[in-house]
Homo-oligomer: A and B are copies of this chain.
Amino acid sequence: MNEIDFIEHLRRKISRSRAVSVGIGDDAAVLAPLRRGRLVVSTDMLVENVDFRIKKDGQRKAPDDFLTPEQIGRKALAVNLSDMAAMGAKPLAFVLTIGKPTYISTKWLDRFYNGMMRFAKEYGVNCIGGDFSRAREFSVSVTILGVAEKPILRSGAKPGDWIGITGKLGGSIRRHHFDFTPRVKEGLLLSRHSLVRSMIDVSDGLFQDLQHILRASGVSAEVDLEAIPVSSDAIVLCHGDTVAALKRALTDGEDFELLLTVSSRQKAVLEPLWKRKFPSVGITWIGRIVKGRPEVQWFSKNKKIRIPNLSCVGYQHF
């Protein structure tokens, strides 16, 4: 199957929507005019042997970090959807580029697309274009486009804000990193009702991502270590050692939960609304934004404590 045939094959898989005027097959795609809101754009890249491993022919036993083609396709889109969630944006469409080594078969690639397109359908988002290249290792870059009436930035945190986190943190390497649910619906609710001041998705670990908010907003934070919601996966990975599990919750990447700050007034409106809309996704309040240098002050049992510098523990891209 050559490239033209393969693109034609893909094209048939992909559902069209009113958001797209011209999809795959021309020099570029064309979006329908946005009725309202602003265009939000994000891009993420996944690379073999960095973000996942691919089982090759002849390899007998699959280690835990071998992902199926469907899982890789799903994840490549999911990390981008999570960025839309963090902006409070509704995802519309995406393009992708693929580096394809010779050991990747058309059948493998087809399964990859099935995983991606099935997930795209769930989120009502369309593939509108792409590019392929030969490569020595498999890689996929997705650029996603969404629309937000009022995008939520990292820079909106104000002293007095409550710091909240959805879901639980840590231990994503066990399975969460490929089967997580991007918090798109949650992000949209928060954006539509102006329920948050600042937001980010936790991709590099809470320790790093909270600092991104603090730096962008020029504020400090007081965080209660005991309040951090630690996932059962983190505890299992640490064989029940709660201190080690807490460290994982602070530094493991790829939680893809939403970290947000809200005023007291917003918090009062948000809490009942959230419980009604998302009864199975908790929000935990882990601390407050305060005036000061953009760094986290950690508290344990109401006492300020020093914790080791974990900057180098969180995920580093290179």
Chain A interfacial positions (CB closer than 8 Å to B): 2-3, 21-22, 25-34, 38-47, 49-51, 83-84, 86-87, 89, 93, 95-100, 128-137, 139, 141, 143-146, 148, 151, 153-155, 199-201, 216, 316-318
Q: Tell me which of B40, B50, B155 contacts A28 (CB under 8 A).
A: B40
Is B45 a contact partner of A97 (Cβ separation < 8 A)? yes
Is B26 a contact partner of A154 (Cβ separation < 8 A)? yes
Distance between Cα atoms of A148 and B200 in the complex (Å) = 32
Inter-chain contacts of A46 with B (CB < 8 A): 133
Between A and B, 19 residue pairs with Cβ closer than 8 Å are A3-B316, A3-B318, A21-B38, A26-B155, A27-B83, A28-B42, A28-B146, A30-B38, A30-B87, A34-B34, A34-B39, A41-B129, A43-B97, A44-B97, A45-B98, A47-B134, A50-B135, A95-B143, A99-B99
Distance between Cα atoms of A99 and B131 in the complex (Å) = 16
For the A-B complex with A30-B39, A39-B39, A133-B318 known, give 16 more contacts whose Cβ atoms are closer than 8 Å.
A25-B154, A27-B83, A28-B89, A29-B40, A31-B41, A34-B34, A39-B145, A41-B128, A41-B145, A43-B95, A43-B96, A43-B97, A43-B141, A47-B133, A47-B135, A136-B137
Q: Tell me which of B2, B29, B216 contacts A25 (CB under 8 A).
A: B216
Distance between Cα atoms of A275 and B87 in the complex (Å) = 48
Is B317 a contact partner of A134 (Cβ separation < 8 A)? yes
Task: Identify the closest chain B residue to A49 (Cβ).
Answer: B136
Distance between Cα atoms of A155 and B22 in the complex (Å) = 11
Task: Identify the closest chain B residue to A28 (Cβ).
Answer: B42
